[in-house]
Amino acid sequence: MYQEKLAKKHEDKSYRYFNNVNRLAARFPQAHTAKASNIVTVWCSNDYLGQSKNPVVVNAMKTALDTYGAGAGGTRNIAGNSALHLRLEAELATLHRKEAALVFSSCFVANDATLSTLCSSLPGCVIFSDKMNHASMIQGIRHSGARKHVFDHNDLEHLEQQLAQYPRSTPKLIAFESVYSMSGTVGRIPEICALARKYGAITFLDEVHAVGMYGPHGAGVAEHYDYEASLRAPVGQRISGSVLDQVDIITGTLGKAFGIVGGYIAASSSLVDMIRSYAPGFIFTTSLPPPIAAGAVASIQYLSASQRERYLQQTHVRQLKDDLESAGVPVVPNPSHIVPVLVGDAESAKAASDMLLAKHNIYVQSINYPTVPVGEERLRITPGPGHDNYMRARLVSALDSVWSTLGLRRTVDWERLGGRCGVGEDRANSELHVGWKRGVENVWEDAQLKQAHDFERARKGGVPITPAIPETVQQIISAMA
Residue pair 89/231 in contact (Cβ under 8 Å)? The answer is no
Parallel, antiparallel, or unpaired: how do β-strands 378-381 and 100-104 relate? unpaired
Residue pair 206/111 in contact (Cβ under 8 Å)? The answer is yes
Residues 6+ apart with CB under 8 A from 192: 156, 159, 174, 176, 203
Residue 83 one-letter amino acid = A
Question: Would you call 256 a catalytic residue per the annotation?
Answer: yes
Helix, strand, coil in percent for the chain, rounding step 5:
45, 15, 40
For residue 204, count other CB atoms closer than 10 A to its CB.
30
CA distance linking residue 359 with residue 365, whole number of Å: 15
Pick the catalytic residue: 256, 321, 350, 450? 256
CA distance linking residue 283 with residue 220, whole number of Å: 27
Residue length, the chain? 481
For residue 180, count other CB atoms closer than 10 A to its CB.
26
DSSP state letters, 99-155: SEEEEES-HHHHHHHHHHHHHHHSTT-EEEEETT--HHHHHHHHHHT-EEEEEPTT-
For residue 198, count other CB atoms closer than 10 A to its CB.
12
* Catalytic residue annotation: 256
